[in-house]
């Protein structure tokens, strides 16, 4: 008889949903995590703090209202780190309480400490008091998450040179910053600090940023970031960073030198598997600390599953939650549908980006015909009301049957309204549904009708000429 039916290592989004799904099946469930990390990286240093910081920046700088009130408009002239931290800590505290309540309500035991494998059905728990307790379980789910990858050659000091976890703990808003890496996290922080008035330089070894996004959307973001005085150095690599008394000197391999108050590294993520003693359970991880799983999120060991960022792409809180739920259902033989192929991507830059489905490049490469329908926020009454004249919604439509192939949104509310397109695509709907639908007025969602009509008119013109 095991102590528990399921033990989950990690209390992030994937761990929470796995534990609760198993508890709903009347299983005895426990989650293992440190006292100061309830909710995982998502709640404490990653997703929630960074998105809360973004909201604070947007509000305090008045950035989203400047189209209405002029470029000099500010809610607060001198924004301090304590202004930003107050909102962040409030949200973290509230979310931690919500998670504790959800777990308690579902009778999930919370074991405080760090866990490592004793074997495929047992975990050693280090509670920090010098003693270890052994806990056994029929099934174990690894939801350990990731940490920022840190190059060995860089001397991080949490003040001048930081990673994406440490940037939210800066003592002051830097006057200048170098962001190393133009991925999602790098671009989110680059846009936030640029909005605060920081002079930001982005260094990226590739020749473009966010290369999985639609080209037109990325170009729009780049234009707005340049308008906030962001400088881009594509095709460049950092050779070294020197710490000085008042700033850091960033030396690029090309010989360029950049002086900045702060250097933030956003060089990908590393799975937190180093201290799990995977070998004791017959498992291993790759050089990035990621664990290989099958389509049901089961590892090479039958009793052990892995979910969330620790298994790699797409490494999103949204997909991780679903992975955790499905893994728990499969572990106990409960019927479940597989994860849907349509998964939205949300990027919380300023302005924000969200999309679902294919990009123009992907459709072109696969020789799939498509037509483009575009709605610009400046043409919508709601766009004028909220002061967003730059936002846009793009639909990629099949001219053969009118099916939606991709939805791409840039601007206010992008991560919210993308789900309308996701729902239509998930139900195999066509552009005709959007044309015939009545949307509340004035709303940003009305952009779907405008873009659908734009695409339909283009398809009609081609049919008229081509027969």
The pLDDT tens digits for 339-350 are: 888 999 999 999
Closest CA to 417 of 435, 398, 434, 401: 434
Tokens of 106: 């579902």
Banded pLDDT at 175 (limits 50, 70, 90): very high
Per-residue pLDDT tens for 352-385? 999 999 999 999 999 999 999 999 999 999 999 9
> Could you tell me where the DSSP H helices lie in 333-393?
360-365, 381-386
Q: In terms of Cα–Cα distance, which of 409, 393, 404, 405 is closest to 364?
A: 405
Half-sphere exposure of 275 (CA within 13 A, CB side): 14
Q: If we measure between CA atoms, which residue out of 238, 320, 310, 316 comes closest to residue 270?
A: 310
- Reduced to 3 DSSP states, what percent helix, strand and coil does the chain have, rounded to the nearest 5? 35, 25, 40
Contacts of 110 (CB under 8 A, 6+ apart): 11, 30, 31, 33, 38, 100, 103, 104
Please state, in angstroms and rounded to a whole number, the distance separating the CA atoms of residues 278 and 144.
12
Per-residue model confidence (pLDDT) at position 467: 61
Q: What is the mean pLDDT of residues 272-293?
A: 96
Question: Would you state the pLDDT for residue 230?
Answer: 97
Rounded Cα–Cα distance for residues 219 and 358 (Å)? 17
What number of residues does the chain have?
Answer: 467
Q: Is 276 helix (H, G, I), strand (E, B) or coil?
A: coil
pLDDT of amino acid 265: 94
Nearest of 337, 339, 327, 338 to residue 27 by alpha carbon: 327
Range 439-461 average pLDDT: 97
Per-residue confidence band for 105, with pLDDT thresholds at 50, 70 and 90: very high
pLDDT tens digits along 200-252? 999 999 999 999 999 999 999 999 999 999 999 999 999 999 998 889 999 99
What pLDDT was estimated at residue 340? 86
The pLDDT tens digits for 47-65 are 999 999 999 999 999 888 8
pLDDT value of position 369: 96
For 451-463, what is the mean pLDDT? 95
User: Kindly report the CA angle at 205 between 355 and 222, in degrees rounded to 5?
Assistant: 45
pLDDT above 80 for 71? no
Whether the per-residue pLDDT at 70 is higher than 90: the answer is no
- The label of the residue with tokens 């059905």 reads 121
Q: What is the pTM of this model?
A: 0.93
Say yes or no to pLDDT of 464 above 90. no
pLDDT, residue 130, reads: 81
- pLDDT of 69 higher than 90: no
Rg of the chain in Å (alpha carbons): 24
pLDDT band at 328 (very low <50, low <70, confident <90, very high): very high
Percent of the chain with pLDDT over 90: 83
CA distance 377 to 370: 23
Of 113-122, 153-162, 190-199, give the lowest mean pLDDT range: 153-162
Question: Residue 321's pLDDT band (boundaries 50, 70, 90)?
Answer: very high
pLDDT tens, 400-426? 999 999 999 999 999 999 999 999 999
């Amino acid at each position: 008889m095991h102590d528990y039916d399921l033990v989950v290592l990690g209390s992030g989004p994937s761990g929470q949903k796995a534990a609760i799904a198993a508890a709903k099946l009347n299983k005895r469930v426990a989650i293992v995590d440190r006292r100061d990390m309830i909710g995982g990286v998502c709640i404490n240093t990653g997703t929630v703090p960074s998105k809360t910081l973004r909201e604070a920046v947007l509000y305090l700088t008045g950035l989203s209202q400047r189209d209405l009130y002029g470029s000099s408009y500010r809610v607060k002239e001198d924004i301090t780190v304590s202004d930003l931290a107050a909102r962040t800590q409030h949200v973290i505290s509230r979310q931690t309480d919500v998670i504790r309540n959800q777990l308690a309500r579902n009778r999930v035991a919370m074991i405080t400490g760090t866990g490592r494998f004793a074997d495929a059905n047992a975990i050693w728990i280090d509670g920090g008091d010098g003693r270890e307790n052994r806990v056994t379980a029929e099934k174990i789910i690894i939801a350990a998450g990731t940490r920022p990858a840190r190059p060995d050659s860089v001397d991080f000091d949490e003040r001048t040179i930081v990673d994406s976890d440490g940037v939210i703990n800066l003592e002051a808003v830097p006057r200048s910053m170098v962001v190393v890496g133009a991925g999602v996290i790098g671009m989110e922080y680059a846009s936030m600090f640029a909005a605060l008035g920081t002079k930001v330089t982005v260094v990226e070894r590739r020749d473009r940023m966010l290369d999985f996004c639609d080209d037109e959307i990325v170009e729009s973001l780049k234009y707005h970031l340049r308008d906030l005085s962001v400088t881009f150095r594509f095709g460049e690599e950092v050779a070294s960073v020197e710490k000085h008394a008042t700033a850091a000197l960033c030396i690029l391999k090309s010989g360029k030198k950049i002086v900045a108050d702060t250097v933030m590294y956003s060089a990908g993520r590393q799975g937190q598997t180093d201290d799990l003693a995977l070998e004791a359970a017959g498992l291993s991880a790759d050089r990035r600390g990621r664990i290989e799983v099958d389509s049901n999120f089961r590892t090479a060991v039958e009793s052990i599953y892995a979910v969330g960022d620790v298994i790699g792409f797409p490494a999103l809180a949204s997909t991780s939650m679903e992975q955790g739920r499905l893994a728990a259902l499969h572990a106990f033989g409960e019927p479940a549908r597989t994860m849907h192929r349509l998964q939205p991507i949300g990027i919380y830059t300023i302005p924000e980006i969200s999309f679902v489905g294919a990009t123009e490049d992907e459709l072109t490469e696969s020789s799939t015909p498509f037509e483009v329908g575009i709605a610009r926020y400046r043409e919508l009454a709601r766009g004028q009301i909220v002061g967003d004249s730059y936002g846009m919604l793009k639909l990629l439509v099949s001219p053969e049957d009118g099916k939606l192939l991709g939805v791409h949104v840039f601007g206010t509310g992008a991560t919210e309204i993308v789900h309308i397109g996701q729902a239509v695509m998930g139900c195999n709907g066509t552009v005709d549904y959007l044309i015939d639908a009545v949307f509340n007025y004035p709303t940003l969602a009305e952009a779907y009708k405008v873009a659908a009509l734009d695409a339909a008119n283009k398809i009609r013109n081609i049919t008229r000429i081509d027969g």
